[in-house]
């Protein structure tokens, strides 16, 4: 076995490989780009080597830099993860020449499956069933159009070198074939520098079912059952599960054996996946083979109790696979969801930004979370916008989905838009839970799944208002609190204004003699109380007691409050920024502005000598995961600014002094 490996990847897969290596007593070297200096995989590895600029082509895709890092680190092998160089035969070859083991299949096997057209030719010979289609070398538009006619519409045009759903076009009728072909070729050329395409029958309501295969260098080859990855958007997986719903044992064996035949046909070694497209009646056809570990491998690990990265390391170091086909069993059901920083309502456009608040499900007996980010990290435009994979394992499919829907409802992300709401809707959709599974599911059920973020109700306005009250009511044991007399709502009443889209709502807050609050909500008055604790608010609203997380975030044109409660989330805009700053600046007291909370200065907007007017922002303080803008309490001149950007300040610290 190796004593040290280098991981030529980033994000959750790099972290995941490190985890297994560590358990096996293998040292790890990470590589990182500029954008990843502070990334989780860098912190997790035993050592890390900087390999270049943020763009992948300046770092994670540069063969020489990675080999050089491996040499300097004294790594005996390289794990490529997935994406990046994992299916690059040239890289696998270069590793061999440099005397480093490539943890993956032989270069020839990668090459054989690298082109979807070539792969289909090989599979044809191995008698693996193929989707009716054309995968020949003649690429003249006339011939391709004629082939499409022969296959029968609808057809699918695919880039032979394709991946990630790029260079694919569905064509419904002959008249549209020419334009679609030109489009697919343009996209293929741009993405893969190769515009070779194939044409195949476009199946209606198909399922994506894939088989995990494994082979060692001693001639053993087996399958670790199937995964159903039919829930997709833009031909890309969103939810994956194992075993596939409604799979009968005979069909499983048939598909498993077809996949093993495919692997054997190309002299495969290591972990691979043979992807099939299946009709609802169970008939299936070879689609492509991915010659690497797959994003969704955890569901297979959960139902088989195996660690596929461990298997990869054993096989790559020349060992035999730990088990034989007969020893493998399916235990229960597993599902994985891909939590993406993307906006389902804007055609799944990736969303970038800093994860100012991140609460992922807690790992446990039934729950696994593979992630490459932590709170405070940034989702950049450079790489895949995946935040985490959440995996649930339970005794049957229904329990698994119920558990996952609940976990998605408890997931809290502020700073980027995510698909958590969609994932929750999917895992609790009666049709999906009932076993309706095909690649058109999301589109067909769009209306129910994409229910727009509901209009805020009284409960939402109450939670947001209580969050504001809690902010201005420091815990009573605060010594500084005693010095400073200010408290919002000490006497009389106050009004908080919220905006929910275009709708504006004022909530009147009164402190009752009993110590309770009375909230004047659109639907009438309600008694309430709130307590701060451990990042969450303990709320009593009428007869209801519950907790909520509220994250306050300064945005360019105001202050947003994101509420997480009742398994959902809501965003409200606080109206009148002056109102925000007023209470925060009240700390001013004797001609100075003090820090209302312990925190860090992240922006200074004034310097000594500046004249400021009442309400003008002075600085931004980051505290309790939120940004607070402190403003001038009155017109005046700045005498001194006591702290610099990046400095940590204690609660009550004098930040800005006035003449
Ligand atoms: P899988 O096939 O393993 O389920 P994906 O198809 O989503 O997963 O791709 C695996 C990884 O490879 C992801 O990190 C994805 O961003 C990356 N990837 C997919 N297609 C491409 C591509 N054409 N070029 C580079 N990276 C890609
Ligand atoms: P990629 O390299 O992008 O993963 P695939 O060939 O694996 O490309 O196809 C991606 C997805 O496109 C499949 O999971 C499936 O949803 C859809 N697809 C591919 N081929 C067909 C087909 N012949 N009929 C219907 N859908 C298909
Ligand atoms: Mg695929």
In this predicted structure, what is the pLDDT of residue 624? 58
Ligand 2 mean position, distance from CA 422 (Å): 22
Ligand 1 mean position, distance from CA 164 (Å): 5
Question: Is 206 near ligand 1, meaning CB less than 6 Å away?
Answer: no
More confident position, 370 or 470: 370
pLDDT band at 486 (very low <50, low <70, confident <90, very high): very low
Instruction: Say which DSSP state 109 is in.
Output: H
Look at ligand 2, atom 16, and give the residue with the nearest C-alpha.
235
Question: Is 290 near ligand 1, meaning CB less than 6 Å away?
Answer: yes
Residues 294-303 have a mean pLDDT of 98
Question: Is 353 near ligand 1, meaning CB less than 6 Å away?
Answer: no
Q: Do domains 132-201 and 458-579 have the same CATH topology?
A: no
Beta-carbon neighbours within 5 Å of ion ligand 3: 275
Q: Could you read off the pLDDT of 444-467 as tens digits, one per residue? A: 999 999 875 578 899 999 999 999
Look at ligand 1, atom 10, and give the residue with the nearest C-alpha.
83
Number of alpha carbons in the 13 Å side-chain half-sphere of residue 206 = 19
CB-based contacts of 466, cutoff 8 Å, min separation 6: 517, 519, 528, 530, 537, 539, 541
3-class secondary structure per residue, 240-297: EEECCCCCCHHHHHHHHHHHHHHHHHCCCCEEEEEEEEECCCCCEEEEEEECCCCCCH
Active site residue 552: no
Q: Could you read off the pLDDT of 342-383 as tens digits, one per residue? A: 989 888 888 889 999 999 999 999 999 999 999 999 999 899
Question: Is 203 near ligand 2, meaning CB less than 6 Å away?
Answer: yes
Looking at CATH, the fold of the domain delimited by 589-658 is given as OB fold (Dihydrolipoamide Acetyltransferase, E2P) (2.40.50)
pLDDT band at 473 (very low <50, low <70, confident <90, very high): low
* DSSP annotation string for 373-421: --TT-EE-TTS--EEEEEEEEESSHHHHHHHHHHHHHH-EEESS--SHH
Neighbours of 427 (CB within 10 A): 24
Tell me the β-bridge partners of 198.
158
Question: Is 237 near ligand 1, meaning CB less than 6 Å away?
Answer: yes
Domain extents for the chain? 4-103, 132-201, 207-449, 458-579, 589-658
Q: Could you read off the pLDDT of 18-35 as tens digits, one per residue? A: 999 999 999 999 999 999
Domain 132-201 has CATH 3.90.79.10: no
Q: Is the peptide bond before 126 cis (omega within 30 degrees of 0)?
A: no
Q: Could you read off the pLDDT of 36-79 as tens digits, one per residue? A: 999 999 999 999 999 999 999 999 999 999 999 999 999 999 99
Look at ligand 1, atom 24, and give the residue with the nearest C-alpha.
83
> Which CATH number does 207-449 carry?
3.30.470.20
| Distances from the Cα of 261 to the Cα of 133, 213, 227, 256, 278, angstroms | 21, 10, 18, 9, 18
Class level of CATH domain 458-579: alpha beta
> Which CATH number does 4-103 carry?
3.40.50.20
In this predicted structure, what is the pLDDT of residue 389? 98
Question: Is 163 near ligand 2, meaning CB less than 6 Å away?
Answer: yes
Classify each residue of 471-510 as buried b or exposed e, where b means 16 or more C-beta atoms within 10 Å of its C-beta: bbbbeeeeeebeebeeebeeeeebebebbbeeeebebebb
Question: What's the predicted TM-score (pTM) here?
Answer: 0.84
- Tell which one of 384, 388, 391, 439 to mutate to probe ligand 1, the residue whose CB is within 8 A of the most ligand atoms: 384
Ligand 3 mean position, distance from CA 341 (Å): 21
């Amino acid at each position: 076995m190796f004593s040290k490996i280098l991981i030529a990847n980033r994000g959750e897969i790099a972290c995941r490989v490190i985890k297994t290596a560590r358990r096996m007593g293998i040292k790890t070297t990470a590589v990182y780009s500029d954008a990843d200096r502070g990334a989780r995989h860098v912190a997790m590895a035993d050592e890390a080597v900087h390999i270049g600029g943020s763009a992948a082509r300046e770092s994670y895709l540069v063969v020489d830099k990675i080999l050089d890092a491996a040499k300097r680190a004294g790594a005996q092998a390289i794990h490529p993860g997935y994406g990046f160089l994992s299916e690059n035969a040239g890289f696998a070859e270069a590793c061999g020449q440099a005397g480093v083991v490539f943890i993956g299949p032989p270069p020839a096997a990668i090459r054989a499956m690298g082109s979807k057209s070539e792969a289909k030719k090989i599979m044809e010979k191995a008698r693996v069933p193929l989707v009716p289609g054309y995968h020949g070398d003649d690429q003249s538009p006339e011939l391709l159009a004629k082939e499409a006619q022969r296959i029968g519409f609808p057809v699918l045009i695919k880039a032979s070198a394709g991946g990630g759903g790029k260079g694919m076009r569905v064509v419904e009728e002959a008249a549209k074939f020419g334009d679609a072909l030109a489009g697919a070729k343009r996209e293929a050329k741009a993405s893969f520098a190769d515009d070779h395409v194939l044409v195949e029958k476009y199946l209606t309501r198909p399922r994506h079912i894939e088989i995990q295969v494994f082979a060692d260098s001693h001639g053993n080859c087996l399958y670790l059952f199937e995964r159903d990855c039919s829930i997709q958007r833009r031909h890309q997986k969103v939810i994956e599960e194992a075993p596939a719903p409604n799979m009968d044992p005979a069909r499983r064996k048939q598909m498993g054996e077809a996949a093993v035949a495919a692997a054997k046909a190309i002299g495969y070694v290591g972990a691979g996946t043979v992807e099939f497209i299946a009709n609802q009646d169970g008939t299936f056809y070879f689609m492509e083979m991915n010659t690497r570990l797959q994003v969704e491998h955890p569901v297979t690990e959960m139902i088989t109790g195996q660690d596929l990265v461990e298997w990869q390391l054993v096989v790559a170091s020349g060992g035999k696979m730990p088990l034989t086909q007969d020893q493998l069993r399916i235990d229960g059901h597993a599902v994985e969801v891909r939590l993406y920083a993307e906006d389902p309502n804007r055609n799944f456009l990736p969303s970038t930004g800093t994860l100012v608040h991140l609460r992922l499900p807690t790992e446990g007996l039934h729950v696994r979370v593979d992630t490459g980010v932590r709170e405070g990290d940034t989702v950049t435009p450079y790489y895949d916008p995946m935040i985490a994979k959440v995996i649930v394992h339970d005794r049957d499919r229904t329990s698994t989905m119920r558990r996952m829907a609940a976990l998605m409802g408890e997931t809290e992300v502020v700073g980027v838009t995510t698909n958590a709401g969609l994932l929750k809707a999917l895992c609790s959709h009666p049709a999906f839970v009932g076993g309706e599974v095909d690649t058109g599911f999301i589109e067909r059920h769009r209306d129910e799944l994409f229910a727009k973020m509901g209009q805020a109700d009284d409960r939402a306005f109450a939670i947001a208002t209580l969050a504001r009250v809690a902010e201005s009511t420091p815990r009573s044991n605060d010594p500084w609190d005693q010095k400073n007399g200010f408290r919002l709502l000490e006497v009389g009443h106050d009004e908080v204004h919220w905006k929910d889209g275009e709708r504006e709502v004022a909530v009147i807050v009164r402190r009752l003699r009993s110590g309770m609050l009375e909230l004047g909500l659109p639907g009438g008055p309600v008694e309430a109380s709130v307590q701060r604790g451990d990042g969450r608010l303990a709320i009593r609203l009428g007869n209801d007691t519950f907790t909520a997380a509220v994250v306050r975030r300064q945005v360019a044109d105001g202050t947003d409050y994101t509420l997480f409660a009742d398994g959902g989330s809501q965003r409200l805009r606080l109206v009148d920024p002056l109102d925000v700053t007023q209470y925060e600046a009240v700390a001013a007291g004797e001609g100075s502005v003090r820090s209302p909370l312990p925190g860090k200065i992240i922006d200074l907007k004034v310097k000594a000598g500046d004249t400021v007017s009442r309400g003008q922002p002075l600085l931004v303080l980051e505290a309790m995961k939120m940004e607070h803008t402190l403003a001038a309490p009155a017109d005046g001149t700045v005498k001194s600014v006591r702290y610099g950007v990046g400095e940590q300040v204690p609660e009550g610290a004098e930040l800005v002094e006035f003449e």
